[in-house]
Structure 1
Amino acid sequence: MAQTVAQPTATTPAVPAKLPLKAIAPWAAFFGILMLVLLYFVGAEQGATSVFNGTDVHEWVHDARHLLGFPCH
């Protein structure tokens, strides 16, 4: 026996789910800090504020530096 699927009608508008700011804020802070760390490694690592010795990090993010407009040569 075939099942029928109820189709939405024009009289029932779609209502987006409400997300409280308290639920989003920790994730926004986490991803904001993560983006700042990534921006540091792409834009400033191997410079005056180097965290790691050597050129490994520079080589890993070399193309991203050029893509984002950071000079490195």
Structure 2
Amino acid sequence: MSIAPGTHAADRPAPLSVPATFLWTALMVVAGLAVYYFVGIDQGMVSIFGSDTHIHEFVHDARHFLGFPCH
């Protein structure tokens, strides 16, 4: 495979296999769902992690900014 003059091999994107693509997609979906849970659904008192984690208070202003009701 030839490289055009003036370009370097590092300028080309690295190939990503199909399994690696699915893995990264799955990881990003899980991370996105976790963020959605903590910001949008977690209510403190009924949290699946217990009421002593205070995640609700940590993301309280973000909840209102994004339009999630919480009280």
TM bucket normalised to smaller: 0.5 to 0.7
Q: Which of the pair has more CA radius of gyration?
A: 1
Query: For 1:27-54, what per-residue CA distance to the aligned partner results, in whole angstroms no more than 9, with x for missing partners?
Result: 1101101110110111111268522214
Note the residue ranges of structure 1 that are not aligned, 5 or more in a row. Answer: 1-6, 9-14
Match of 1:3 in 2: none
- Is structure 2 residue 71 aligned with structure 1 residue 42? no
CA RMSD in angstroms comes to 2.8
The residue correspondences of 1:1-73 to structure 2 (distance < 5 A) are: 8=6, 18-46=15-43, 49-51=46-48, 52-54=50-52, 56-73=54-71
Percent identity reads 48
Count of residue pairs brought into register by the alignment? 63
8 Å CA contact 1:46, 1:55 repeated in 2: no
TM-score, length-scaled by structure 2: 0.65
Query: For 1:11-67, what per-residue CA distance to the aligned partner results, in whole angstroms no more than 9, with x for missing partners?
Result: xxxx76543322211011011011101101111112685222147111101111112
How far apart in 2 are the matches of 1:42 and 1:24? 27
Query: Structure 1 residue runs of 4+, over 6 Å off?
Result: none
* Partner SS for 1:46: coil
Note the residue ranges of structure 2 that are not aligned, 5 or more in a row. Answer: 7-11
How far apart in 1 are the matches of 2:23 and 2:33? 15
* Partner SS for 2:70: coil
Q: Which amino acid aligns with 2:69?
A: P
